[in-house]
Amino acid sequence: MKIALFGNPNTGKSSVFNLLTGLRQHIGNFAGITVEKKSGSFQINNQQHELIDFPGVYSIYPRSKDEEVVYKVVSNRKHPDFPDLAMIVVDASNLERNLLLFTQIYDLKIPIVLVLNMWDLAQKRGINIDIEKLQSHFPSVSIVTTNARIGFGKDRLIEAVKNHQLNIASNLILEDFKLCDLGNKKQQEDETQFRYQFLKKIIADVEIVEKSKTDTLSRKIDKVLIHPIFGYLIFAFVLFVIFQFIFSFASIPMDFIDAQTTNLSSFVANQLPIGLLNDLICQGIIPGIGGVIIFVPQIALLFLFISILEESGYLSRVVFIMDRLMRPFGLNGKSVVPLISSVACAIPGVMASRTIADWKERLITILVAPLMSCSARIPVYTLLISLVIPEKQILGIFNLQGIVLFGLYFLGLISALFIAIILNLLIKKKEKGFLLLELPSYKMPRWPNVGINVLEKVKIFVIDAGKIILSISIILWALATFGPSGKMDNAEKYVKANPTFSELTTEEQNQKVASARLESSYIGIFGKAIEPAIRPLGYDWKIGISLITSFAAREVFVGSLATIYAVQDDGDENVRLIDRLKNEKNSKNEPIFTLASSVSLMVFYVFAMQCMATLAVVRRETNSWKWPLIQVAFMGFMAYFGALFAFTILS
Amino acid sequence: MKSNSLAKQAFGVKVQIKNIEDSSFSNKLIELGFIIGQTVEVVFSAPFGDPIAVELNGSVLSLRLEEAATIEVENTDSL
C-alpha cells in the first residue's frame, strides 16, 4: 500500500516518519517534478507498505516551490505517487490550524489516518481533546494519539494503518469539492474561510482548554535570543563554533581521505597492467571519486549543526532576527542558511533556498550563493598564500597569512551582498515578497532526526555533485591524456633524448615526460590558446591549463600545477611545489608567481564560477539555462576584471 | 497602511481581526489562521522593530510589517 505522510511544518511529521521506517529510507524524485521524494518502508504482517514523506504545508495550495508537490500529487488521481491512504500528522496543541489541511484531503475522498501528535505537550498546556467526539464528527477516519519525539505510539500507528477503513468519507465538508486552480486566489480564500468556520464549530465541541496556552519557557528564551544585542552576539558565537568545526576539525578526516585516495590509486596502478585502462582508473576515476568524498566531512558537520539548530527551534529565530538586515539586499531572513551552507559547498546551499517562498528573493539567494568561498577553494588559497605571503605576525597577535585568508572570505561575502543589491534593482518582480513563518516552541533536538537529516544531505551531495564532478574528471583526464597524433609520443622521445635530463633519476624523468605530455595534449593546446587572454592577469599557459582543469573542482588546480611543473604531488604542505613555483621564470627570465600574479589568481578564484556541479544544480532549481548562464557571465566578468585590477595595482 | 493595522499594535494588546486586505499573500495569511473575528496579539518584535511576532491561536507566527499592515484589526476593549 502507498501511504502519504502530510502535515503542517513543526508537527513532528519527520519524527513519525522515522519512527515507522527507521533507516529503511531512500531519496528519489517525484514523477515529473524535480522535487526530492523521501520515502521509506515498513511491514505489517509481512506486508510491505511504502510511506512517502511530503514537505510540511499548511494547505494543499503551495506557497513555495517545495510545497507544489503536494498539490500536484493530490490533484491527480493518476499520479504514480497518489496515495492509497493519507497519514496526516497534526500538532494536538494547535488543532484548529492543523486540521485545515486535514479537511482538504478529507474532501478529496482519500482514506485517512489522523495522527494527533505532541499529545503530551497539548496536555501540559491544558488542552484536552475529546477523541470520541472528534471521531463522531469524522467516522471514516482512524484517529491515533502519539508522542513521536520520544518514540511513543508506534504500535498504535501500525494498528491504525491495519484497521483503517477503506470506506471513504461520506459526510463531506464541502460537497463535490473541486480543487481551486493555483492561480485563483480569491476562490482559495473563500474555501479556506469556509473551512475555518466549519473547524471553529468542531473545535468548540471537542476541545476544552483549562489553562493559558502560552509557552512561558519559550517566551523567556526568546527574550535573550531575540535581544537586539545579545541576539546577534549569540548568533555570531554560534557561527564561530560552526566554522571552527568545519575548518579545523574537519581537516583530520579530510587528510585521511586524501591519503587513502592516493594510496588506492597507486595500489590499483600497480595491480593492473600498464595501459590506458590503468590510467583511466588511477588518474581519472579514483581521483574523481576522491575529489567528491573529500568534501563529505565538512558537509556532514555543517548539516549536523544546521539540523540541530533547526530541530531545536533556534533556526527560525535566526531567520526572524536576520530578515530585516537581509532585506535591503533583496534577500530574505531565510537566505542566511543557504549562504552559510555555501561556505562548505554551494550545492546544498542552493538547494536550501527552496524554503524561500518569494521567487525573487530565492533567485537572488541562488545567484549569489556561489560567491561565498566554498571549501574547494581552500587548497588553492592555501597554496598561493604560502607562496607569496610571508609568515609573520602583525601587531604581535595576527598572523599575516591568516589575515589574507580571512580577507578572501570577506571579499566573497561582500561581493555576494553587493551583487545582491544590483540584482535586486535589475530583476523585476510582480509581487511583494513575504516571510510568514512559524516560531515553534524550543525543544531538545531529537538525535535520530538529526542523524537521518545529515545522512540525507550527504547522499544528495555525493549523488548530485558526484556524478558531475566524476564525469568532468574523466573528460579532463581524456583531454590531458590525448593530443594530436604523434605530438604526445614525441614528448617522451624528446625528454629521453635530451642530454640535460639524462642525469636525472627515473622518477624525475618520468615527471618530465608527464609534464611534456600534458603540454602537448589537447588541454595543453587549450591552455596555450587562452594565454593571450590571461596574460594581462599575469598568468602563462601553464596556469591556463590549471584554470581549465579547475572546472571539475577548483582544488584540482593544485594537482594540475604539480603535474605541469613536474613536481611530485606529495601532499605534504606542497613544500616541493611551492619551491618549484617560486623559481619559475618566464621567457624574459622574470618570476611568474609574483605577489601581483598570485594575488590576481586568488581574486580570480574568489569570483570565478568554476563549478559545473553547482551550475547543474542552479539550472535544475531555476528550471532554465538562463540563470546559470547569467551567473557564469557576471562571475566571470568579476573574476577577470577583479584579477586584472589586482595585478595592475600590485605590479 | 491602514489606520488600525496589526503593524501598529503595542505588545501584549489583544486585538480582533476585522479585515484582510487583498494582496499577493492574503490567501496564505488566511491559511495560517488570520481570519476575520480571530483574536491576535503582537508579542515581540525583532531588533529594528521588523518583523514582528504575533500569537494566534496558541502559536507564535512571524510577519514582516508590510504583511501585518494588510491586516486590519480593532481593539477588543472597544467592542
pLDDT digits (tens, 9 = 90+) for A43-92: 888 889 999 999 899 999 988 777 888 999 999 899 999 999 999 999 99
B78 touches chain A (CB under 8 A): no
Instruction: Report in angstroms the alpha-carbon separations of A253 from A16, A289, A323, A382, A457.
Output: 33, 16, 35, 18, 18
Per-residue pLDDT at A204: 92
Per-residue pLDDT at A504: 72
Q: Is the pLDDT of residue A116 over 80?
A: yes
Q: Answer whether A434 sits within 8 Å of B67, measured CB to CB.
A: yes
- All residues of chain B having their beta carbon less than 8 Å from the beta carbon of residue A323 are 46, 50-51, 62, 64
Q: Is A623 left (phi over 0), alpha (psi -120 to 50) or beta?
A: left
Q: How many A/B residue pairs have CB atoms within 8 Å?
A: 115
Closest C-alpha to A307, from A335, A331, A341: A341
Rounded CA-CA distance A325/A341 in Å is: 18
Partner-chain residue, chosen from B23, B32, B62, that has the shortest CB–CB distance to A320: B62
Q: Is the pLDDT of residue A451 over 80?
A: yes
Per-residue pLDDT at A333: 92
pTM, entire model: 0.84
Per-residue pLDDT at B78: 52
ipTM: 0.92
The pairs formed by B35-40 with CB atoms below 8 angstroms and a separation of 24 or more are B35/A192, B35/A193, B35/A196, B36/A193, B39/B14, B39/B15, B39/B76, B40/B6, B40/B14, B40/B15, B40/B16, B40/B71, B40/B73
B64 touches chain A (CB under 8 A): yes
- For the segment A130-136, the average pLDDT, to the nearest whole number, is 92
Answer for the pair A376, A406: CB distance below 8 angstroms, yes or no: no
Per-residue pLDDT at A61: 92
Per-residue pLDDT at A358: 81
Answer for the pair A541, A526: CB distance below 8 angstroms, yes or no: no
**What is the percent of chain B with per-residue pLDDT over 70, rounded to a whole number?**
92
- For the segment A497-505, the average pLDDT, to the nearest whole number, is 72
In Å, how far is B35's CA from the nearest CA of chain A? 7
**Out of A91-95, A119-123, A499-503, B53-57, which region has the weakest mean confidence (pLDDT)?**
A499-503
A526 touches chain B (CB under 8 A): no
Per-residue pLDDT at A233: 95
Q: Is the pLDDT of residue A36 over 70?
A: yes
Strand-pair category, B59-63 with A437-439:
antiparallel
Per-residue pLDDT at B3: 59
Q: Is the pLDDT of residue A214 over 70?
A: no
A96 touches chain B (CB under 8 A): yes
In Å, how far is B45's CA from the nearest CA of chain A? 8
- For the segment A93-97, the average pLDDT, to the nearest whole number, is 90
**What is the percent of chain A with per-residue pLDDT over 90, rounded to a whole number?**
38
Per-residue pLDDT at A381: 93
pLDDT digits (tens, 9 = 90+) for A538-574: 998 889 988 988 887 788 888 788 777 766 555 555 6
Q: Is the pLDDT of residue B71 over 90?
A: yes
**Out of A152-161, A333-342, A388-397, which region has the weakest mean confidence (pLDDT)?**
A388-397
Per-residue pLDDT at B1: 44
pLDDT digits (tens, 9 = 90+) for A575-598: 677 888 888 777 777 888 899 999
H or E element in which residue B60 lies = strand B59-63
- All residues of chain A having their beta carbon less than 8 Å from the beta carbon of residue B47 are 226-228, 231-232, 321, 324
B19 touches chain A (CB under 8 A): no
Q: Answer whether B47 sits within 8 Å of A125, measured CB to CB.
A: no
Q: Give the pLDDT band (50/70/90) at residue A453.
A: confident
pLDDT digits (tens, 9 = 90+) for A223-245: 999 999 999 999 999 999 988 88
Strand-pair category, A207-209 with A127-129:
antiparallel
Per-residue pLDDT at A602: 96
Q: Cβ neighbours of residue A278 under 8 Å, at least 6 residues apart?
A: A268, A269, A272
**Out of A168-172, A190-194, A272-276, A450-454, which region has the weakest mean confidence (pLDDT)?**
A168-172
Instruction: Report in angstroms the alpha-carbon separations of B53 from A229, A260, A434, B46, B60.
Output: 18, 51, 14, 8, 6
- For the segment A431-443, the average pLDDT, to the nearest whole number, is 82
Per-residue pLDDT at B2: 45
pLDDT digits (tens, 9 = 90+) for A242-285: 888 887 888 889 889 988 888 898 898 888 888 888 888 888 88
Rounded CA-CA distance B42/A360 in Å is: 28
Q: Which of B14, B64, B65 to mutate to test the interface with A (most CBs of A within 10 A)?
A: B64
pLDDT digits (tens, 9 = 90+) for B17-46: 999 998 888 888 999 999 999 999 999 999
- For the segment A146-151, the average pLDDT, to the nearest whole number, is 83
Partner-chain residue, chosen from B27, B30, B61, that has the shortest CB–CB distance to A437: B61
**What is the percent of chain A with per-residue pLDDT over 70, rounded to a whole number?**
95
Q: What is the mean pLDDT of chain A?
A: 86
pLDDT digits (tens, 9 = 90+) for A341-390: 898 889 888 988 888 878 889 999 999 999 999 888 988 998 899 888 88
pLDDT digits (tens, 9 = 90+) for A610-645: 888 899 889 888 888 999 999 999 999 999 999 999
Closest C-alpha to A215, from A129, A146, A310, A124: A124
Q: Answer whether B31 sits within 8 Å of A226, measured CB to CB.
A: no
Q: Answer whether B47 sits within 8 Å of A232, measured CB to CB.
A: yes
